[in-house]
Structure 1
């Protein structure tokens, strides 16, 4: 039987991402655990040595445990381009987060999970059903990732540029509600830039150990890549002016040049990735143009960057420069780039679930029993 006292317990907050899932407890300043969104299944009848955390008799491996055994496993990503595509693996990942990472019983705490803008109705209801039926949570809520990122910057109206591992979005938010008709999507994000950088390195004759290929390229991307304010001028610079060094684990030193800005340039000119259409500035301007004229100035005046793929040095300056060329003359434009923006969605969720006013927002187990999974369509915005 549902007890309202359970709502006084700090909630579990899970931010579901294509590349990473972040989990922790409400009221805390950051996620306690960050796990790669990957589940490994044995390729062969005999499972690899060792026990898979949270894997049970099926011998599934989650997160880093899966990546460390990738030669013997078939790796599956349950979230693709922001949407859940592998429900059994997603359930396994959530179980791993609850039981092995956080060490909590899902049945004893409220749970808030983030969801992408335009999350399909069926996905929302299936998530709720899993939480209440498989995990027996006492209370649950689904919340828009972009809205939460805006909350983390103490705003309720603005445009969120959310760049993760699987997708980049422009999401206008007005008074705490996203505007679905104006959400813009760009199928270029972190994993695409990693693959592009790998291609550029190979084309330049830069070798690196095959076994660590993706991890090394991601490290180069995160530590050295940047967005050029003027790409043509950057290309014209002398090699010694743009060259940077990266030391491999074996001590070998790679000298890298224009690949470091050519990879993230795909966010602004995505054609090299086979993506037709506008880059990031066109995505933002197009999203704002679809909104009511009365709020367009407010959206331009509060653009907030969120997600790991917005961390490139120079991205905010380049975006501002190009938006100034697209917006009506004299339009004030402000871009906020929080230093902790790679988990700002989680922070926003932690903040709102710790507010006493959020208590009435929870969908309880009693609500689910009375109305079924469709209750989230009426209660979770």
Structure 2
């Protein structure tokens, strides 16, 4: 997601440029506390003594028990929140589509995760991960020798590389089509939002193919289709397997990659038995096209509207009675 604006109030808190949270793991608690304070009090308008409730989305299986307890303690003791609700992002993403069951493929910044949710419950044995994501795909463009500005041959900045990835990366319709397209060796000029002209060719297809043939690019891991198959295979219940394969949801920053969903469906249909009909969940008509990129946020917005009025959250009384351990008893993680 985009960083908050560096206005005077924000800059005055001495934020550094490192990420305080990496793949869902909090690395710098001081930074996170300062960031949350800025968001809650200075951007959302909380007032001391009149704080509201908070819903926190958690990356699937990323947080330790200690991190959850420290987060709970921080919310109640530092921010005096009146209520806390935590839920995993797979559940929330499905909720944004009005679903409680499905197989969620999350193409994130630092990794790709696949997980199954049934009746609103995350099935931990189903969770699979690839050790790369949007960041590594951007790095691939950086390392490609042919990716240079056409005027002067200068290397691209991080922002330019990100723009190039989002605008040009695409997935071939099949592995055979990929080989043919790369062999053709065609290059084209692409103009970035800042006006810089870049020459790009096979790199656009290669970056997309990493998800489907990671070993060909030096990653010793399963491809994304094998991950989905392994994830759904957590259960031996054939009807459940079939239901999950027919309820695939692709979310995250990489979900908008051109050709991704079509290739994913095509390869999944080859990987599953003929009696299965892998399919993607249809985006509700009222949802914008960018919804999959922010589905956990949208799902959190919807769930908060339901959870807090129905008293499904952790209250201040709960926290005072049981302490930070209450998060292990009253959360959807």
Question: Does the pair score TM above 0.5?
Answer: yes
Does residue 1:227 correspond to 2:171, yes or no? yes
How does the TM-score come out when normalised to structure 2? 0.88
- Any idea what the Cα deviations from partners look like across 1:135-164, whole Å, max 9, x if unmatched? 111111111100000011111111011111
- Any idea what the Cα deviations from partners look like across 1:133-192, whole Å, max 9, x if unmatched? 111111111111000000111111110111111121111000000101111111111111
RMSD of the alignment, in Å?
2.5
How does the TM-score come out when normalised to structure 1? 0.77
1:302 to 232, 235, 247: 247
- 1:103 aligns with 45
When residues 250 and 81 of structure 1 are mapped into structure 2, their CA distance, relative to the original with a 3 A threshold, is closer
Does residue 1:83 correspond to 2:53, yes or no? no
CA distance in 2, matches of 1:93, 1:100: 10
- Which deviates more from structure 2 when the two are superposed, residues 77-86 or residues 367-376? 77-86
1:52, 1:60 within 8 Å by CA — same for their partners in 2?
A: no
2:53, 2:84 within 8 Å by CA — same for their partners in 1?
A: yes
- 2:3 aligns with 35
Query: Tell me, what secondary structure is at the counterpart of 1:206?
Result: coil
Q: CA deviation at 1:234?
A: 3.5
1:267 to 206, 211, 217: 211
Q: CA deviation at 1:238?
A: 8.3
1:156, 1:173 within 8 Å by CA — same for their partners in 2?
A: yes
CA distance in 2, matches of 1:319, 1:131: 40
When residues 259 and 356 of structure 1 are mapped into structure 2, their CA distance, relative to the original with a 3 A threshold, is closer
Q: CA deviation at 1:374?
A: 0.6
When residues 356 and 281 of structure 1 are mapped into structure 2, their CA distance, relative to the original with a 3 A threshold, is closer
Does residue 1:343 correspond to 2:294, yes or no? yes
- Any idea what the Cα deviations from partners look like across 1:12-49, whole Å, max 9, x if unmatched? xxxxxxxx3xxxxxxxxxxxxx536x9xxxxxxxxxxx
When residues 251 and 114 of structure 1 are mapped into structure 2, their CA distance, relative to the original with a 3 A threshold, is closer
- 1:354 aligns with 305
Query: Tell me, what secondary structure is at the counterpart of 2:69?
Result: helix
What runs of 5+ residues in structure 1 fail to find an aligned partner?
1-19, 21-33, 39-49, 62-73
Q: CA deviation at 1:80?
A: 1.2
- Residues 80-159 of structure 1: matches in 2 within 5 Å? 80-105=22-47, 107-118=50-61, 119-159=63-103
1:242, 1:258 within 8 Å by CA — same for their partners in 2?
A: yes
- 1:30 aligns with none
- 1:53 aligns with 9
- 2:320 aligns with 369
Does residue 1:287 correspond to 2:241, yes or no? no
- 1:278 aligns with 222
- Which deviates more from structure 2 when the two are superposed, residues 150-159 or residues 104-113? 104-113
CA distance in 1, matches of 2:94, 2:192: 38
1:305, 1:337 within 8 Å by CA — same for their partners in 2?
A: no
When residues 76 and 357 of structure 1 are mapped into structure 2, their CA distance, relative to the original with a 3 A threshold, is closer
Q: CA deviation at 1:121?
A: 0.9
